Amino acid sequence: MRAVVLAANGPAESLAVTDVPTPEPGPGQVQIRVAYAAVHPLDIHARSGAMKWGVPAMPFTLGYNYCGRVTKAGEGVDASLVGRRVTVSGKYGGYADYAIANAADVIEMAPTLSWQLGGFWAGSTLTAWHMLHTLARVRAGDSVVVHSAAGPVGAMLVQIAKDAGCMVIGLVGGTEKVAWAKRLGADHLIDYIADKEWPKTVKTLTQGRGVDFIMDGNLGPDALKEFDCLAPLGQVIAIGAMAGQAPAVNVSKLIAGSQGVRGFVINDGLAKTKGTERKTLFDNISSGRWQFPISGPMELDAIAEAHKKFESRTTTGRFLIEVGGEI
């Protein structure tokens, strides 16, 4: 079968499709014929070597988030799973014709949703909802800056925050993304490429007060300047570092500004609510109240180009790779 196996850290150009034996499920596992896989930030970090925690020992098959149809059930697994459409997140292996997953880790897809929507809406939507409601506990009238508002988590942050009655300022890179992101309903969109002093613009838009929350999956060497537009008692909530690690935070400065920084991992949010929010989120997605954005897909054979495209930050929404397609 085809697979994209990571044997050593390297640039996007180092990725290629190779031929490997089709894996068989062991006890408690299922074999999945992969339909689509996402180009996920954690695939990028694992490939480049920027992240070490949670990354399997090499060689291993990339593909952190994927969907497909169960084709075999291992010992101890309910045989009725065979034939069902499922999605898997948080376990590598999706950049291949067939993947192996623990049966406990697969989630059956709603029959009313398409492969692409059903396979990928949940992770980004749950992350955004928990950032806003479990961690920030936003209220109507709060103001929120959303980094990467044209990305999958950012797009959902914009819509969910607006639904909660917040004033939302979206940051996007480039005029094309500004035009694309208008559909999401942000009160203001800022092209951070053209506006290098965007924190000053945020202060102007908030009549000098600043914002209550900044949702940041980028960080990077310029991350500290966002404190310049954070209101007293405001918080930066960080979920990633696509632009690189941030400089150290001056705690004394945080004290002086009555400001805070928090990190977030989705599993901790899910553990707190035990999934009680899932039905509401699913209803809003399936009804079209919230639009989950998808782009691509590109073919598996073009995986190197897909990673380069993602890293150039020209993609919008959840960017997909077609493996088996509509199987």
Query: What pLDDT, in 10s, does the model give residues 150-185?
Result: 999 999 999 999 999 999 999 999 999 999 999 999
Determine the pLDDT at residue 246.
Answer: 84
Query: What pLDDT, in 10s, does the model give residues 254-305?
Result: 999 999 999 998 888 888 999 899 999 999 999 999 999 999 999 999 999 9
Determine the pLDDT at residue 275.
Answer: 87
**Alpha helices per DSSP H over 71-220:** 115-129, 152-163, 175-181, 198-205
Q: Give the CATH number of the domain where residue 81 resides.
A: 3.90.180.10
59 and 189 share one domain: no
Provide the residue range defining the domain that includes 266: 124-271
CA-based Rg of the chain, rounded to a whole angstrom?
A: 20
Query: What pLDDT, in 10s, does the model give residues 108-119?
Result: 999 999 999 999
19 and 104 share one domain: yes
35 and 155 share one domain: no
* Pairing state between β 260-263 and 230-238: parallel
225 and 89 share one domain: no
138 and 264 share one domain: yes
| Low-confidence winner among 6-15, 51-60, 101-110, 190-199 (lowest mean pLDDT) | 51-60
The count of domains in the chain is 2
Query: What pLDDT, in 10s, does the model give residues 75-107?
Result: 999 999 999 999 999 899 999 999 999 999 999
132 and 103 share one domain: no
129: left (phi over 0), alpha (psi -120 to 50) or beta: alpha
Average pLDDT score over residue span 49-57: 87
Determine the pLDDT at residue 51.
Answer: 79
Determine the pLDDT at residue 153.
Answer: 96
80 and 170 share one domain: no
Q: Is residue 91 in some structural domain?
A: yes
Cα distances (Å, whole numbers) of residue 74 to 30, 36, 47, 65, 309: 6, 22, 30, 21, 37
Paired strand residues for 145: 169, 214
153 and 264 share one domain: yes
CA distance linking residue 165 with residue 177, whole number of Å: 24
Residues 6+ apart with CB under 8 A from 108: 84, 85, 86
22 and 128 share one domain: no
Q: Give the CATH number of the domain where residue 130 resides.
A: 3.40.50.720
Query: What pLDDT, in 10s, does the model give residues 208-254?
Result: 999 999 999 888 888 889 999 999 999 999 998 778 788 889 999 99
Block residue for tokens 């790779």: 321
CA distance linking residue 24 with residue 267, whole number of Å: 28
186 and 128 share one domain: yes
CA distance linking residue 294 with residue 7, whole number of Å: 29
CA distance linking residue 169 with residue 200, whole number of Å: 13
